[in-house]
A and B are shown apart, each in its own frame.
Chain A
Amino acid sequence: MNRLNNLNRRGFLQTASLATVATSVFVSRPKLIFGKGTNAEESCTAWTHAKIMPADGPAIEDGILVVRGSKIIAVGPSASTTIPSDAKVVDASNKWLMPGLVCTHSHVGGMGAADGSSPIQPGVRVLDSINVRDAGFRRALAGGLTTLNIMPGSGHLISGQTVYCKLRYYDKSHPNTIDDIVIRDMDGKSLGGLKMANGTNSIGEAPFPGTRGKSAYLVREQYVKAREYHAKVVAAKDAPDKLPPRDLHLESLAEAMLGKRIVHHHTHRHDDIMTVMRLSQEFGFRTVLHHVSEGWKVAKEIAAAKLPCSIIVLDSPGGKLEARDMTFKNGRVLDEAGVRVAFHTDDWITDSRLFVRSAALAVRAGMNREKAIQGLTLAGAEMLGLEDRIGSLTVGKDADISIWSGDPLSVYSRVVETWVEGKKSFDLSEPEDRLFAEGGYGAGEDIDPFLCCYAQAWQVGGTK
């Protein structure tokens, strides 16, 4: 696993070095809060006799996982793992423990960032639109998810800033606002990426681009401006009066070029994937390819560019021309070519409660099982730049855990509990949690997704 991490980082740095040559910007990773370290006074829980799938190493048949406060403090085989004397011991025989699942691409809670006024609006934050009371969050917990990258839609070339969230649904009063669930860096700044898209979703009537060539041009034009803007900011470092007027859009693009904001790029067709690669090399932004329906056609190229892929798995291909060749084998082909693969729900496109199914269908088409499990956890964490903190059951990481009634890749297995940072946030035996897990009267959400600019795609051949 470490080897893969290193590969990934090397890939990232290599891309960055191109950017350095071209643009003289440097890349820095966001600083993260690692917590206060564990305190012996904090409550301690130990699950014993569990089957543990840590995601950063081989499965443990009879294992122990110990959590103190919000962190994992021990994980290993029963025979060789010590349980602290003050630990509350939970017999987890017949249960499977996995890291909390990481969804790299979700629209839960509302997705109102960029509006219809322009195809490029990188300064708009999805953070400002999210309703933490949306039923989608509770459903996500019922699916074993603990971390979401909530994204604006794909109806724009650049639809705004995404936000990384932890599902800290501890009780009725928490979370109360979006502030309670965002993930922050050491400076307290909320973390998130930048959503971009190409292909047919972001093509439309002016001011939106009418062709793929125009799409790429409009994006390049803005990044060029952002580079100049940032140069002025740097030049004014010791002379604040020389600062250019603050521009939220250009600032956001500069953050992407500085590596402070990972670009999460919607793309389907193989040639569109190559366009993303070209742009990310020209401007040096760190990129995760999303959906990547035709990734299997250019797997070697993606591997060579060391771009990770967050893929979607749907029941059937199509819905639009560029997704016609979508296939269950995408994950296998990409993985075998050496591409890092994660899955995502694109919730509401697929239901977060069924997130593991995406990985299982990839396994159906031949993907390595361990890699598929990583695709739900550690690989996703890497793609958000959060792998030092989440994504595996590793000592020192956040105690984000999904507890299963059996093999997670089996249709018959259920999430029985989901823990976020050491606190139980979902329990199937609780009636209210069960309502969200199963559905039923009152389990519905009252927020409709903001479709804006690809409402047309949704409605072609539709009802009106």
Chain B
Amino acid sequence: MQNQAKKTNRWLKSSLCSLMLYSFVGSKTIAQDNTLIVQAKKIYTSAGPMIENGSIVCIDGKIATIGATSSLIVPKDSKIITAEVVFPGLIDVRTCVGLSGILNSKHDSDQIESSSPIQPELRAIDAYNPGEELVEYIRDFGVTTIHTGHAPGELISGQTLIAKTFGNTAGESLLVDGRAVVATLAESSFKTGKQSPGTRGKQMAMLRALLIEAKEYQTKLAKKPDSKDADKTKEKKDDPDSTARSLKLEAMAEVLSGTKALLITADRSQDIASALRLAEEFSISIWLDSAAEAYLMIPQLKKAKVPVLLHPSMMRASGEQENLTFESAKLLHEASIPFGIQGGYEAYVPKVRVVLFEAAIAVAHGLPYSAAIESITIQPARILGIDKRVGSIEIGKDADLALYDGDPFEWTTHCTGVIVNGKIVSKLPR
């Protein structure tokens, strides 16, 4: 209680400025075009206790003020949108939407390139279609940010990006380009016949060889003379040791330097163990993706401090995912392992999953309510390194909000409004 009072006090102080400014504008009875007020019976912020009968004032695409509706002075003609419940805009911590399209035909399937097992140089931004109807589809349920990119299914299939679900071009919606390189440790990335990789051992051997090569490349680059020094460059031209630029090794060098994370899809416990072994050997930052058997590896995951981009709760329990459980999220939460629940990738149907539904199932199977909201808002934001901008309803963050007409996790509730950067982008309801 005391904490809450302190928080409220802090809010009053911090918001006083904007409130004064706001009532000043109000005294002129001019509502600003760049302002939007969201009022709801319940606001879950992912940054503190739930606010009852609260308001969120969005100015210039950012959250300017949050607090009790009763204490807010609202100018006439203000643009107000109301809801029963507001969540922070949802974040899908791992999807392939926008590269993998609704038709599932060669015309809209750019999530996997099978010509070679190792292609970290493939950028997601060159394949991401912000106009894909499934991007709009998930947005209409409240998803405002996605970490999307190349799919599992090759040893290294390419890169990922982070984007808002609104914007006319990839650049316009982009938050971070090249956030991670995608690797798969599973039978799904085996090649057939005499091609490699054909075994789990070979997968790891190839990954290790690649990282060693990238390390040498990195070292050579560091030794490379300053390119401004024309004479030296000229001198080095015929030197067989000089390093020609390699887009592949460049991407892997960024994994080594920590600029990019290595996202490793692994469901079987032995593959999870392999991923951790790789992270330790090369001191790289990895994200464990899907991780159906993560619950068997709790101590190891804790020790390695590896976050989990957890499989959709409703992922099919077959093949290498046959041992998954609806309780995965609950078990990771109880072990204090950071995780986000993902929409994931499906080769057939459903072409995209809605993280709201996946988190709902996790709640029904033991994940506490607030932890479930966090698993599709602030937790993904922290893992992805975008929590300064998105993931919670806090002053100064992007005004990305999801509005509902009841408990958002109930099947029969509707998403009644979606706000991205302070703009209403959907009012379906859906």
Give the residue name and chain of the B residue nearest to A369 (CB). Answer: B412
Of A324, A412, A461, the residue contacting B109 (CB under 8 A) is A461
Given contacts A316-B350, A411-B409, contact A445 B322 (CB under 8 A): yes
Shortest beta-carbon distance, B349 to chain A, in Å?
A: 4
User: Is the pair B137, A360 in contact by a Cβ cutoff of 8 Å?
Assistant: no
User: Is the pair B104, A319 in contact by a Cβ cutoff of 8 Å?
Assistant: yes
A-contacting residues, B323-372, CB 8 Å: 323-327, 346-354, 357, 360-361, 363-365
User: Is the pair B414, A464 in contact by a Cβ cutoff of 8 Å?
Assistant: no
Number of chain A residues whose Cβ lies closer than 8 Å to a Cβ of chain B: 44
Give the residue name and chain of the A residue nearest to B269 (CB). Answer: A441
For the complex, give the distance between the alpha carbons of A286 and B79 in Å: 56
Main secondary structure of the interface of B (DSSP, over half): loop
Shortest beta-carbon distance, A68 to chain B, in Å?
A: 34
User: Is the pair B364, A414 in contact by a Cβ cutoff of 8 Å?
Assistant: yes
CB-CB < 8 A to A348: which residues of B? 316, 318
- A48-56, A164-172, A274-282, A452-460 - interface stretch: A452-460
For the complex, give the distance between the alpha carbons of A411 and B361 in Å: 7
CB-CB < 8 A to B364: which residues of A? 411-412, 414
Give the residue name and chain of the A residue nearest to B114 (CB). Answer: A464
CB-CB < 8 A to B323: which residues of A? 439-444
Shortest beta-carbon distance, B332 to chain A, in Å?
A: 14
Q: Is A344 an interface residue (CB 8 A)?
A: no
Q: Is A256 an interface residue (CB 8 A)?
A: no
Main secondary structure of the interface of A (DSSP, over half): loop
Q: Is B207 an interface residue (CB 8 A)?
A: no
CB-CB < 8 A to B16: which residues of A? none
User: Is the pair B105, A461 in contact by a Cβ cutoff of 8 Å?
Assistant: yes
User: Is the pair A445, B317 in contact by a Cβ cutoff of 8 Å?
Assistant: yes
For the complex, give the distance between the alpha carbons of A316 and B103 in Å: 12
Shortest beta-carbon distance, A356 to chain B, in Å?
A: 9
Of B189, B360, B365, B409, the residue contacting A463 (CB under 8 A) is B189
CB-CB < 8 A to A411: which residues of B? 360-361, 363-364, 409-411
Q: Is B398 an interface residue (CB 8 A)?
A: no
For the complex, give the distance between the alpha carbons of A308 and B105 in Å: 31
Q: Is A357 an interface residue (CB 8 A)?
A: yes
Given contacts A316-B354, A460-B109, contact A440 B104 (CB under 8 A): no
Shortest beta-carbon distance, B216 to chain A, in Å?
A: 31
Residue among B327, B349, B352, B357 with most chain A CB within 10 A: B349
User: Is the pair A412, B354 in contact by a Cβ cutoff of 8 Å?
Assistant: no
Given contacts A411-B361, A463-B347, contact A363 B412 (CB under 8 A): yes
User: Is the pair A462, B153 in contact by a Cβ cutoff of 8 Å?
Assistant: yes
CB-CB < 8 A to A438: which residues of B? 325-327, 365
CB-CB < 8 A to B346: which residues of A? 319
CB-CB < 8 A to A323: which residues of B? 349
Shortest beta-carbon distance, B83 to chain A, in Å?
A: 16
User: Is the pair A320, B112 in contact by a Cβ cutoff of 8 Å?
Assistant: no
Of B317, B319, B349, B352, the residue contacting A448 (CB under 8 A) is B319
User: Is the pair B317, A439 in contact by a Cβ cutoff of 8 Å?
Assistant: yes
Given contacts A439-B323, A442-B323, contact A349 B349 (CB under 8 A): yes
Given contacts A316-B137, A440-B325, contact A461 B350 (CB under 8 A): no
User: Is the pair A315, B357 in contact by a Cβ cutoff of 8 Å?
Assistant: yes
User: Is the pair A319, B317 in contact by a Cβ cutoff of 8 Å?
Assistant: no
Q: Is B303 an interface residue (CB 8 A)?
A: no
Given contacts A364-B414, A438-B325, A438-B327, contact A464 B192 (CB under 8 A): yes
CB-CB < 8 A to B317: which residues of A? 135, 139, 351, 439, 443-445
CB-CB < 8 A to A442: which residues of B? 323
Q: Lowest 9 A-B CB distances belong to which pairs?
A: A444-B322, A461-B109, A318-B102, A463-B153, A439-B325, A360-B411, A319-B349, A462-B347, A315-B350
Interface residues of A (CB under 8 A from B): 135, 139, 314-321, 323-324, 348-349, 351, 354, 357, 360-361, 363-364, 409-412, 414, 438-446, 448, 457-464
Taking A316-B349, A318-B349, A412-B364 as known contacts, 9 extra A-B pairs with beta carbons closer than 8 A to each other, sorted by chain A number, are A135-B317, A318-B102, A320-B103, A364-B412, A409-B412, A411-B409, A411-B410, A443-B323, A463-B189
